A and B are shown apart, each in its own frame.
Chain A
Amino acid sequence: DSGVTQTPKHLITATGQRVTLRCSPRSGDLSVYWYQQSLDQGLQFLIQYYNGEERAKGNILERFSAQQFPDLHSELNLSSLELGDSALYFCASSLSGAHPYEQYFGPGTRLTVT
Chain B
Amino acid sequence: QQPVQSPQAVILREGEDAVINCSSSKALYSVHWYRQKHGEAPVFLMILLKGGEQKGHDKISASFNEKKQQSSLYLTASQLSYSGTYFCGTEIDNYGQNFVFGPGTRLSVLP
Contact = CB atoms under 8 A, between A and B. Distances in A.
Q: How large is the interface on B (under 10, 10 to 19, 20 to 34, 35 or more residues)?
A: 20 to 34
A45 B41 CA distance: 14
Given A42-B104, A43-B101, A102 B96 contact: no
A45 B96 contact: no
A56 B97 contact: yes
Contacts of B42: 43, 90, 92, 103, 105
Q: Of A58, A100, A106, which is in contact with the most chain B CB atoms at under 10 Å from its CB?
A: A100
B47 interface: yes
A108 B40 CA distance: 8
A99 interface: yes
A58 B89 CA distance: 14
Given A43-B101, A107-B41, A101 B87 contact: no
A34 interface: no
A90 B40 CA distance: 10
A97 interface: yes
B96 A99 contact: yes
B98 interface: yes
Nearest to A94: B96
A74 to B, nearest CB: 16
Contacts of B104: 42-43
**Shortest beta-carbon contacts, A-B, top 9:** A105-B41, A56-B97, A99-B94, A102-B44, A43-B101, A42-B103, A98-B96, A97-B96, A105-B42
